[in-house]
Chains A and B, each alone.
Chain A
Amino acid sequence: MSTKNWPLWEVFVRSKNGLEHRHCGSLHAADEEMALENARDVYTRRSEGVSIWVVESKHITASNPEHNGELFEPAQDKVYRHPTFYDLPDEVKHM
């Protein structure tokens, strides 16, 4: 098998009761249809009511860990930037 024609795909799955798609791994496939089928076999065991997203890895742009300082740290030392001072009623889940 030549991996040249079998690019890497990232797989995101939303489980039956899940709220959002989570990244659960990657796999090789020749195109998006095959990627979906493979993802269904490898990652979902065909549970019903799940949603699968596949995206070819080359389409994902990742942030550079070297830039963590300027990207993420400034927000952390200013508490007023985070909405942490509200009391949430129990009925509101998943905030």
Chain B
Amino acid sequence: MDLGEKQNPNPTVFAPRVASRKEKDLSLLDEDDEIGARDEIDAAEIFELIRHVNDPEHPLTLEQLQVATLDQIEVDDGSSAVDVRFTPTIPHCSMATLIGLCIRVKLLRSLPPRFKVRVSISPGTHASEHAVNKQLNDKERVAAALENAHLIGVVNKCIAQSDR
């Protein structure tokens, strides 16, 4: 993929709206919690995982570009379902699939395997929304893409600084 020419040369940069959560609020943990009890995951935790993922073409995070926001994340821990929507900076962004793939890979590596993750574009924010969503949620194509050395290199670079 040619990353030489920027699709959106001058994106709007936003300040973080949610404070970083360094650790889980310890007061929430009850001493009677069973060892090995299921770790409940919520939307804030998912946002924490992806907010610092880098944009493929800018030295900025998905949070700074408001590509990812807390209100676009839905989690149902009981049914192990995570639904992440993201908003490309421009409606013709050719990086949309790559951004979605970065979010998917980051969550794949961070969440317990029981989670069923759906990553899709916020409705109405991209010209090829349907095609990109279908590709991002076809696990066979995602698996094949992740066996592509060049592509996984680009993805790894985008998520390298995301654990803060």
Is chain B a partner of chain A in the same complex? no
Q: Which residues of A contact B (CB under 8 A)?
A: none
